[in-house]
Amino acid sequence: MKTPQRITVHEFAMQLSECVRRSTTRPKLIPLWSFHHLACHLCNAKLSTATAHISIHDARFPNCVGDGQVFMTEIIFCYRCEPPPEPYGCLHV
């Protein structure tokens, strides 16, 4: 999965949902809020996470304009099949 870049919160949620839907479940009892029970749908490797800093921008403007709010989130990815996610991204709200 890629770090969000110039997309809405809804689009990011849909990407995350699709990534989780495609992933297979590893046979362990782990809390639902943890991604550590997911495996890659292509190679079955355990999915990894990388921390990304996400800037919040105002969608009314064409460029990345915002008040400086940033939050950190974990981006899931397969270390075998995908490059690591970018450390910085943005959402337009």
Q: List, for residues 13-29, the tens digit of each pLDDT value.
A: 999 888 888 887 655 54
- Residue 2, domain member (yes or no): no
- Residue 3, domain member (yes or no): no
Residues in the chain, pLDDT under 70: 25-36
Q: Look at residue 88 in the predicted model and tell me its pLDDT.
A: 96
User: How far is residue 34's CA from residue 75's CA, in Å, rounded to a whole number?
Assistant: 12
Q: What are phi and psi of 91, to 5 degrees?
A: -120, 140
Q: Look at residue 35 in the predicted model and tell me its pLDDT.
A: 59
- Residue 32, domain member (yes or no): yes
Nearest to 57 by CA among 71, 47, 45: 71
**Structurally, how many domains does the chain consist of?**
1
Q: Which amino acid is located at 54 in the chain?
A: I
Q: Which amino acid is located at 34 in the chain?
A: S
Domain ranges, residue 72: 9-92
- Residue 65, domain member (yes or no): yes
Q: Look at residue 36 in the predicted model and tell me its pLDDT.
A: 61
pTM of the model as a whole: 0.78
- Residue 1, domain member (yes or no): no
- Residue 69, domain member (yes or no): yes
- Residue 74, domain member (yes or no): yes
- Residue 51, domain member (yes or no): yes
